[in-house]
Structure 1
Amino acid sequence: MSFFKTSLVAASFFAFAGTAHAQAFYLQEQSARGAGRAFSGEVADTGAQSLWWNPASIAGSTDAEAALAVAAILPRGEVVDTGTLIGRPGQPFAPVGGQQRSRNPITNGVLPSGAIAIPLNDRIAFGLAVTSPYSFTTDYDADSWARYSADRTKLLTIDIQPSVAVAVTDWLRVGAGLNVEYTDASLGNALPNVLASLPDGHQQLKGHGWDLGWSAGVQLHNDVITVGIAYKSGIKHTLKGDLTIDGLVGPLAGSNMALSGIEARFDTPAQIIVGARVKVAPKLTLNAQATRFTWSDFDAIRLGAPINAAIPELYRNSLSVAGGVDYDATSRLTLRAGVQRGQTPTQNGQRDARVPDSNRWNFGTGGSYKLTSRFTIDAGANYVSFEDQSIDRVTAAYAGTAAQTPILTSGELRNAHALVFSLGGRVTF
């Protein structure tokens, strides 16, 4: 493959990840119970709903338990051009053109999750959680100012986590699990032809793959306080798929292509989670949780043969902290509330329209109602407020060739927020 074609293919992977509602492209809405307190106590709580955060949560279970939940995620916001320029070969820089304001490019989504825990005896339990921790769709119009960074992107992950937990003593629970994760991705963006009067070309990548990680955790508890500590490994993803480039004309026409067996490798972050639940009164429990994400592992996307290139991403490690309360209003009804602060792992100068991420506040409220002695309904509602943030990653189509076309991105994420409504049920048997 020529160097010119290699540059084209590398550009198609430039922003493989996408925007979500927790941190960068991670989704935390894996529990309706947790949503009500802004995910402030999950690592230290017990039962199947906490398996994603801590495999030790099911140790010492006396009854089998199954939990199902679904979250409706409704994001809103604007991605606005503030002066993006494009420099076609032999021509002065000019405005990129197109729609200058993209409204609600992140589409609404529905996120299901489920878990089951089965005690093998009074100390050992087996669990299985099925979640979707990295899933989203963004959809920009074909004539958006952001079209050379992204038009339509879709990412789906399915994480299957079998776990074993043991109550080692009356005060110590430990657990470990394997994370088997399937990833399916599709992304595309426009390519500029050499003249602004010509319609854009287009490239699209599709890929999928299965990969492995692991989780482990402990809980230390007495009648007043439970402390939870867990580690979820990062996962080294390898996706294989197809790349299509079409619509290029004139001197670029020879770079239209369809390739199969393209391989891309990238790492999602590990999580170090520490939290506690303290029963400060017979009906009142306080929750606190902090999560450290090793997003610096997502430093580059590495492409295999025939491309053999690395595309820098340069994410940074980030932190989220949350606090919340559980209040037992009656023997059947528990009310919850919480607040979470999350840092974005994207950096100024490296943020593009495919990942218009920013720091955010998450405010949650909800509750649980015990319909019978064995069946409970959980509900939560969250309002997530995103800070306005620059979109400022400089890119170049056909880098290193005579047709190199720099794009000086200047945009902003504005007025972004999301509403999240979660509903679930759990049953013991």
Structure 2
Amino acid sequence: MTKISTRALFAATVSVLAGGIATSANAAAFYLQEQSVRGAGRAFSGEGADQGAASLWWNPASIGGMTGGDVSLGVSEIMPRGDVHNNGTVIVRPGQAPAPVGGDTDSHNPINNGTLPSGAIAYALTPRLSIGLAVTSPFSFTTNYAATSWARYTADKTQLRTIDLQPTVAFAITPEWSVGVGANAEYVRAILGNYLPNLSPLLPDGHQTLKGNGWDWGWSLGTQFHTGPVSIGLSYKSSVKHTLDGSVTTAGLAGPLAGQNGSLTTTAQFRTPWQAVAGIRFKATDKLTLDGQIVRFGWNKFGTIQLGAPLNVAIPENYGNTWSYAGGLDYAIAPNWTWRAGIQRDETPTRDTHRDARVPDSDRWNFATGTSFDVTKGLGFDAAVNYIKFKDSSIDRLTAAYAGSPVQTPIVVNGTLQNAHALVLSVGAHLKF
């Protein structure tokens, strides 16, 4: 067989490696919405219209017109469960008939448990002007597939970590109307790996890993209006264009593929989704407040992953824009004790025929309850429980190792996400000073 260009094979192979930047968690695709324990207790149904530091991530106007200082801290333990099942995936090596991909038929619980901290602080400089800072991790997860999994050519280990710092300024134009603006400095560190088939099925698999990190910027705008028993909030959080500096490392390939073993320095670019939030809260009685929220996510921004020189490859993702709908309530059992509950419907941006094992996502329902208890006039504690039920969905994205090269090796994926659900336990504290 003729010698194959190392650089061409790197570029062809990395299309499998970058076939998904993340996987399902509590919110759709790789977005984590657990940025407030108060919000988790009502299924994130009133955050855009609520006030205080706990709502800073959703609406920078939430601290407009406040007095004194406000701190909100929380941590969530996310425990996803589910099976990624093979229904007959085949591999087509050059010059050979299609053959079963082999490996374990079921991958149980490939998405790791995760601990997600969050926090925000705000302070009123004047009766109208306030400043704040929210520290969140909106896109983070870890997933692992065994080396013997049927999905190994699509995904091995994937790890994504983000830190978002959102300094915010808010101003109360009138006692009823506030506006706010925030800058989002966002750090990303990503590791994506998958196995690669050698041309002979008698040889063990090779392996490839992409690593990268970098800081980038986005912005947030919001407004709130409060009149009588009604509070309304509107906000917009921009997409962030991330450029990660990193490397692609390949090992274990033999024969005419052996020249591909090694490491190349490169960059990877992708965009997070924008989100537009509309929230409302209605104080129906002295004790009962009803909450509602609609979020539009601009997941079409995650259309491709761009790999820079010397690879110069654009990997299609084809995510679609989605909606999230939530309704909930806050009920004051006592002056210092509040109970919450809510339901959320959240759509997946992944599409049939484009969904792979690295992103085994689906539409889901989120059922929530929570509580807050104030132990003093300024100090209180929060807790919440969320149960998320995922719809079974197909995993059927056609992929190929060495795509576009003379040794292109298609993997005709045929799998299913089954019995997927997640339990999220959140605890936190709030302090006014």
TM bin, normalised by shorter chain, reads over 0.9
Whether 1:366 aligns to 2:402 is: no
Would the aligned equivalents of 1:28 and 1:133 in 2 still touch at CA under 8 Å? Answer: yes
What TM-score do you get using the length of structure 1 for normalisation?
A: 0.99
- Contact 1:374 1:427 (8 Å CA) reproduced: yes
Name the amino acid aligned to 1:416: A
Aligned to 2:179: 174
Structure 2, unpaired ranges of 5+: 1-5
- In structure 2, how many angstroms separate the alpha carbons of the residues matched to 1:295 and 1:16? 13
Shift of 1:335: 0.3
The AA in structure 2 aligned to 1:176 is: V
> Is structure 2 residue 352 aligned with structure 1 residue 348?
yes
State the partner residue of 2:74: 69
- State the distance in 1 between where 2:7 and 2:141 align: 34
Q: Secondary structure at the match of 2:9?
A: helix
User: CA-to-partner distance for each residue in 1:314-336, whole Å, 9 max, x for gaps?
Assistant: 00000000000000010111000
Q: Which residue of 2 aligns with 1:108?
A: 113
1:394-413 residue pairs with structure 2 within 5 A? 394-413=398-417
Within the alignment, does 1:304 sit opposite 2:308 as a pair? yes
Please point out which of 89, 96, 100 is paired with 1:95. Answer: 100
List 4+ stretches of structure 1 deviating above 3 A: none
Corresponding residue of 1:249: 254
1:290-329 to 2 correspondences below 5 Å: 290-329=294-333
Q: Where does residue 386 of structure 1 map in the other structure?
A: 390
User: Which residue among 32, 42, 47 is the counterpart of 1:42?
Assistant: 47
Q: Distance in 2 between matches of 1:39 and 1:8?
A: 40
Quick one: distance in 2 between partners of 1:17 and 1:106? 10
Counterpart pick for 2:288 among 266, 284, 289: 284
Number of the residue aligned with 1:164:
169
TM-score, with structure 2 as normaliser: 0.98
CA–CA distance in structure 2, aligned partners of residues 25 and 55 of structure 1 = 23
Give 2:360's aligned amino acid. P
2:239 corresponds to: 234
1:126 and 2:131 are equivalent in the alignment: yes
- CA deviation after TM superposition for structure 1 residue 12, in Å: 2.3
Task: Report the identity percentage.
Answer: 57
Q: Deviations over 1:341-373 (max 9, x none)?
A: 000000000000000000000000011001100
What does residue 258 of structure 1 align with?
A: 263
Indicate the residue corresponding to 2:83 in structure 1: 78
* Distance in 2 of aligned mates of 1:104 and 1:24: 16
Contact 2:7 2:311 (C-alpha < 8 Å) held by counterparts: no
Aligned to 1:198: 203
Amino acid at match of 1:386: F
- The aligned amino acid for 1:233 is S
- 2:13 match: secondary structure: helix
Distance 1:327 1:393 in 2: 46
CA contact (8 A) 1:19 1:138 kept: no
Work out the CA distance in 2 between the residues paired with 1:78 and 1:6: 31
1:56 is aligned to 61
Residues 229-259 of structure 1: CA distance to partner in whole angstroms, max 9, x if unpaired?
Answer: 0000000010010111000011111111211
Instruction: Please say if residues 198 and 204 of structure 2, whose CA atoms lie closer than 8 Å, have aligned partners that are also in contact.
Output: yes
Q: 1:210 aligns with which of 212, 215, 227?
A: 215
Contact 1:10 1:307 in 2 (8 A): no
Q: In the aligned structure 2, how far is the partner of 1:6 from the partner of 1:140? A: 23
In structure 1, C-alpha distance between the alignment counterparts of 2:191 and 2:267, rounded to whole Å: 13
Query: Which 10-residue stretch deviates more, 18-27 or 357-366?
Result: 18-27
- Unaligned runs of 5+ residues in structure 1 are none
1:269 matched to 2:273: yes
